Amino acid sequence: MQAILVTNIGTVHSRLTESVNAGNPAVWSAMGGPGGGGASPTAMAALNGQVSRQASMVAYVDVFHLMLYTTVLAMPLVFFLRKPSMTTAAAPEPLAAD
């Protein structure tokens, strides 16, 4: 599950950053507007942090869905379980101390 999570985080992060470009008005407002010193390293780091948080959340939701489906598919296996037999086993002999 952890490998799927890490892979999903990378995939979702790359998909979310596809729409982050200079022509997107939402990016301009996040960077301080067209005349507001838009591409400062601090603003870019903040934007990358927000995209990373969103990518992590989407990846966690995907992994929880996968765990739900796995659990639901494994539930019918409970019907194949048997009760242990009630035969009494011979008591083990006590060990002698010298």
* Chain-centre distance for alpha carbon 80: 31
Does 17 fall in a domain? Answer: yes
What is the pLDDT of the chain when averaged over all its residues? 84
Q: What pLDDT score was predicted for residue 34?
A: 60
Split at pLDDT 50, 70, 90, the class of 74 is very high
Judge whether 21 lies within some domain.
Answer: yes
Residue 91, Cβ density class (10 Å: 0-12 exposed, 13-18 middle, ≥19 buried): exposed
Domain housing 28: 2-33+42-78
Q: Identify whether 88 is part of a domain.
A: no
* Residue 39 vs residues 15, 17, 43, 98: alpha-carbon distances, Å: 21, 15, 6, 82
Q: Which whole number is the average pLDDT over 53-67?
A: 96
Predicted TM-score (pTM) of this structure = 0.67
Q: Coil, strand or helix: which one is 21?
A: coil
Residue 96 lies in a domain: no
pLDDT at 59 exceeding the cut of 90: yes
Of 89 and 72, the one with more pLDDT: 72
What are all long-range contacts of 76-83, with beta carbons under 8 Å and residues at least 24 apart?
none
Domain tally for the chain? 1
Asked if residue 84 belongs to a domain, the reply is no
* CB-based contact 62:8 (threshold 8 Å): yes
Query: Residue 61 domain-assigned?
Result: yes
